[in-house]
Structure 1
Amino acid sequence: MTKQFPGGLFAGRRWTSLRLRLLVVFALVALTAAVSASGIAYWLNREAVLTRTQDAALGDFRQEMQNRAAALPADPTPEELQRTAELMAGSSPGYSVLLVDELKDGRKVFGAAGPDSFGLADVPKSLQNAVNDRQKTTAANDAEYHMYWQRTKPRGNPYLVGGTRIVGGGPTGYMYKSLAQERDDLNALGWSLTIATGLALLGSALLAQAAARTVLKPVQRLGDAARRLGEGELDHRLEVSGTDELADLSHTFNKTAEALEKKVADMSAREESSRRFVADMSHELRTPLTALTAVAEVLEEEVDDLDPMIAPAVALVVSETRRLNDLVENLMEVTRFDAGTARLVLDDVDVADQVTACIDARAWLDAVELDAERGIVVRLDPRRLDVILANLIGNALKHGGSPVRVSVRVEGEWLLIAVKDNGPGIPEEVLPHVFDRFYKASASRPKSDGSGLGLSIAMENAHIHGGDITAANGSEGGALFTLRLPVDVGKVIAGEA
């Protein structure tokens, strides 16, 4: 029998089941938490950075529009607009400025300055419309024009575009600030958060491995202990440490193992006692049975000279004495099998001759048809083969009826002997029990003088050879018993040893 130990198949199964699931669960929890935390942190920092930059630039631009653009004359020249734009663009936030004014003749004059090339085409139409939209003044709205802003990405670069115009007449001003520095800072933050997420995932894997080892080590010890218990080491116990659930489980296992050991010991003692009782009883019965058998044989020889009223009683005594003798012999044979003392005496046997001898010794030649080729020689115990054949053929004649057909063939390394009777067959509910000891199917065997041990002894003899017997119903009716034995029992026994 192949055994699996902790380093082999079972360890692989543990790795692909509970350990892997723990690692995956820890990793998913850590990944979800890290990604969520990183995403929230990135979003909050992004909004904070952009809002701070935006508010600073727009606030400074509003102030510059009030201080410088509002001070321009009603119809400023292009030079005045340009000089004012340069002064506004020189403020600390560092943005470009575009001033637009419309002359009386409808022409537009521009003034632009700053680090970026900035024209009216760079201002989104929606923002231009919002800036030039004149609103009614109310108690809640005291200005006709307001400042509006928008984030754009011309040519893939982020910019903040804002605009407003002077209330009461004056130029319209637009500011254009690059957000490239903020983008780079946010990208660096994103990479930092990504690295932190990876480190958190790695840390979670290490923690999961440690947790799995802590949890699975007691489970592994419990599995090994249960395996050893199943292999017969009933005295094996677990060392209990701690007060957690696994310690309680270990306590329960030890109590169960102790109870199982005690129960098995009690059952073994009772079984041994019963086996010894049967052996002793059978042995003690042999002496009086020998005397009874001798007397019965003498009476059987004199039965023709006895009173006709006494003769049937004498015949009954002779018959029952023989039956009792067979029962005692069978009981002793069963006891030897149970005690493991049954041994094989191997010899080269011609199967056809052996089957013929078995049939001839019991005067069954007229009731049995033999289909066996001469020259099929196998190595087995001839006495035990005779016991098997006598039980199978005798059972077929007694319960199935003649003619009984016995066929012999060899398939590979196996000898197959089939015994088929001509009876009604075996009921389906009886088939699983035909080899049980003392089993008699009353429906199919209304009257039987057998002990119920014959087929059981036949099966035990087949097992000791390394073979078996199967029972079934033939396709054309009748019961079919098939004996399967190794051609060379000696090799099989040597291989098992």
Structure 2
Amino acid sequence: MSKGIVTRLRLSSLRLRLVVVFALVALTAAVAASGIAYWLNREAVLTRTQDGALNDFRQEMQNRAATLPLRPTQEDLRRTAELMATGSANYQVLLLGERDAGKPIVGASDPDDFTLADVPRSLREAVDTERPVTEANPYPYHLFWQRTERNGTPYLVGGTRIDGGGPAGYMFKSLAAEKADLNSLAWSLGIATALAVAGSVLLAQVAATTVLRPVHRLGEAAKQLGEGKLDTRLRVTGADELADLTRTFNSAAESLQKKVADMSAREESSRRFVADMSHELRTPLTALTAVTEVLEDEQDSLDPMIAPAVALVVSETRRLNDLVENLMEVTRFDAGTARLVLDEVDIADQITACIDARAWLDAVDLDAERGIVAPLDPRRLDVILANLIGNALKHGGSPVRVSVRTEDDELVIAVRDHGPGIPEEVLPHVFDRFYKASASRPRSEGSGLGLSIAMENALIHGGSITAANSVGEDGAVDGAVFVLRLPLDASGITREVQTRSSQGEVEEA
């Protein structure tokens, strides 16, 4: 399934849920209403047919069967049954009498259609049972009925007996016409239910569109707001809850735009202040640096009481000069004016030159193949290497090992030391500006900007730096590892690169 299809399904899930809920509610209501209507109509149809046939049969038994002699012949029974079956109720009749005691005879209106075998035994037993005559029960024999089925066709079977030893009579009426009517009614109710569900789905679509259109507009507006279009506003229509939600969104967007504008103004002011301050400090620092260089040259001839103070001034002046340079570099990154000046760089030669220039050859082991060349900014690569290796020498333990390899069109440079490692709570902050692992040493030699600047220079190349601890075979921490990853082909990065170091993001301008 493509990403576009997945997105459309995800966006339409609320619509789908609304449609399903509407359809289920409509289906439940329609099925319940249809079921009740069918049941009521079925009972009404069957009861009307049943009562009409049984009442007619009772009347016929009183009018015709009761006139038969005590010992009728089979012909008497047949003829009477035929006369009883010619009524409007349209049923078959079977009369059961006795020629002699214990010798039953049967007369049927249509022996091919209705025989004694079609009468359920339970019904015959109920008809033949004589009940005591009381005030509440004036008749010893009652009319009983039962619904049966033969070859898939429903029938009504009824029976009673004439008082005083008269014949028993049974009627057999087909309910096929009623069944057909009820089937037709069921089909009609089923079609009505289907139409109700289809109508509910259409109504759900309309309702979902009406409800979800403002929600979709709010979602699009929120997306634009998240993309930085802080002037996004929505037109408020109506006076319902969605209109209140739209007003709340507009109010929140306006408040957010104002706060972001205020923060941007303050950030720009702070950035300008740092840049101006750093620029203004460079002139006196240049003079101080010249003086300290002279004092350093004459340090051996100075009074021993003054020499320590002179050494302190020289070291602090250099530290202040490095801090100002770092601040200037940071402001260039923040202002988006940092640029790459690419050149074909032999990685092994570049690392060797960096180590040699700082007199670290005896403290650093280099494992790099010759001939790895990549288009990079040599100055910025030197800044990255100097900060990573210097940090390892200062805070780690010897020996410091620098290894170089290529991996999936990437240049990977790992700087590892054998010190105590980096505390777990410090790892997430090692690239933060002015962050120092020990709060008890706020005036340590470092400015807290070195690793941050190294990260910015890696990001401007389209790369990254990660920090982790190296674990030995015994499971103990055995130093820290910083891994620099840069693209082997950075020739496409030739324009100004905008960086947002506070979020660790890089964009090409």
Shared fold, TM over 0.5: yes
String of CA shifts for 1:189-221, please: whole Å, max 9, x gaps. Answer: 111111111111111111111111111111111
Aligned to 2:290: 294
Q: Could you tell me which residue of structure 1 aligns to residue 49 of structure 2? A: 53
After superposition, the C-alpha distances for 1:369-425 in whole angstroms (9 at most, x for unaligned) are 211122111110000001111111111112224332211121231111111223222
Change (3 A) 1:390 1:161: same
Matching residue of 1:14: 11
Identify the residue that residue 383 of structure 1 maps to in structure 2.
Answer: 379
Change (3 A) 1:493 1:466: farther
**In the TM superposition, what is the alpha-carbon distance from 1:446 to its structure 2 partner?**
8.4
The corresponding residue for 2:483 is 482
TM-score for both structures, normalised by structure 1: 0.95
1:134 pairs, out of 130, 133, 137, with 130
CA distance in 2, matches of 1:475, 1:61: 103
Aligned partner of residue 381 in structure 2, secondary structure = helix
In the alignment, the residues of structure 2 paired with residue 296 and residue 329 of structure 1 have an alpha-carbon distance, to the nearest angstrom, of 18
Show structure 2 runs of 5+ residues with no match: 473-477, 496-506
1:434 is displaced (CA, Å) by 1.1
User: What code does the residue aligned with 1:136 have?
Assistant: P
Question: Counterparts of 1:81 and 1:257 in 2: how far apart (Å)?
Answer: 98
**Alpha-carbon offset, residue 67 of structure 1:** 1.0
Q: Distance in 2 between matches of 1:56 and 1:12?
A: 60
C-alpha contact (below 8 Å) 1:161/1:177 kept by paired residues:
yes
User: How many aligned residue pairs are there?
Assistant: 491
Counterpart of 2:488, as a letter, is V
- Say if 2:390 is the partner of 1:369: no
Contact 1:486 1:492 in 2 (8 A): no
Alignment deviations for residues 214-242 of structure 1 (CA, whole Å, 9 cap, x no partner): 11111111111111110111110111111
* Alignment partner, residue 246 of structure 1: 242
Residue number in structure 1 paired with 2:417: 421
* Range 466-475 or range 344-353, more displaced: 466-475
Q: Deviations over 1:301-343 (max 9, x none)?
A: 2222222222221221111111111110000000000111000
Moved more, 311-320 or 35-44: 311-320
Residue 112, structure 1, aligned to residue 126, structure 2? no
Per the alignment, do residues 10 and 284 of structure 1 end up closer, same or farther by CA in structure 2, a change over 3 Å counting? same
Which piece of structure 1 moves more, 437-446 or 22-31?
437-446
Say if 2:214 is the partner of 1:218: yes
> 172, 179, 182: which is aligned to 1:186?
182
The equivalent position to 2:165 in structure 1, one of 169, 173, 178, is: 169
1: CA distance between counterparts of 2:377 and 2:277? 28
Contact 2:340 2:377 (C-alpha < 8 Å) held by counterparts: yes
Pick from 294, 307, 310: which aligns with 1:311?
A: 307
Q: Where in structure 2 are the equivalents of 1:191-206 lying within 5 Å?
A: 191-206=187-202
Question: Aligned letter for 1:110?
Answer: V
The DSSP-based 3-state class of the residue aligned with 2:437 is: coil
How far apart are residue 34 of structure 1 and its match? 0.8
CA contact (8 A) 2:411 2:486 kept: yes
In 2, Cα distance between the equivalents of 1:305 and 1:164? 146
Q: Is the 8 A contact 1:358 1:389 kept in 2?
A: yes
Q: 1:441: Cα distance to partner? A: 1.4
Distance 1:76 1:423 in 2: 126
2:389 to 390, 393, 411: 393
SS for the counterpart of 1:281 is: helix
CA distance in 1, matches of 2:355, 2:102: 135
Change (3 A) 1:211 1:446: closer
Q: Which AA in structure 1 matches 2:10?
A: R
Deviates more, 1:168-177 or 1:449-458: 168-177
Of 404, 408, 411 in structure 1, the residue corresponding to residue 404 of structure 2 is 408
- 3-state SS of the aligned residue for 1:489? coil
Q: Within 1, Cα distance between the matches of 2:489 and 2:168?
A: 112
Using the TM superposition, give the Cα deviation of residue 9 of structure 1 relative to its aligned residue in structure 2, in angstroms: 5.4
Q: Does 1:71 align with 2:67?
A: yes
**Identity over aligned pairs, percent:** 75
Question: Which amino acid in 2 is paired with 1:241?
Answer: T
2:259 aligned with 1:258, yes or no?
no
Give the 3 Å change call, closer, same or farther, for CA 103–455 of structure 1 in structure 2: same
More moved, 137-146 vs 112-121: 112-121
Deviation at 1:8, TM superposition (A): 7.0
Instruction: Provide the rounded CA distance (Å) in 1 between the counterparts of 2:434 and 2:299.
Output: 33
Partner of 2:133: helix, strand, or coil? coil
Q: Which amino acid aligns with 1:188?
A: S
Residues in 1 aligned to 2:442 and 2:271: alpha-carbon distance in whole angstroms: 30
Moved >3 Å (runs of 4+): 7-11, 443-447, 491-497
Q: State which of 455, 458, 461 in structure 2 corresponds to 1:459.
A: 455
* Contact 2:340 2:494 (8 Å CA) reproduced: no
Distance 1:407 1:445 in 2: 31
Query: In structure 2, what residue type is equivalent to 1:485?
Result: L
Alpha-carbon distance in 2 for matches of 1:412, 1:180: 82
Mean Cα displacement is larger for which, 207-216 or 272-281?
207-216
For the 8 Å contact 1:427–1:444, the answer to whether it is kept is no
Please tell me the residue identity of whatever aligns with 2:285: L
Q: Which moved more, 1:265-274 or 1:408-417?
A: 408-417
**Secondary structure class of the residue paired with 2:100:** coil
The secondary structure found in structure 2 opposite 1:314 is helix
* AA aligned opposite 1:441: A
Shift of 1:12: 2.5
Structure 2 length-normalised TM: 0.93
- Contact kept? 2:72, 2:98, Cα under 8 Å: no
Return the letter of the residue paired with 1:207.
L
Q: Report the counterpart of residue 320 of structure 1 in structure 2.
A: 316
Cα deviation for residue 100 of structure 1 reads: 1.5
Letter in 1 for 2:11: R
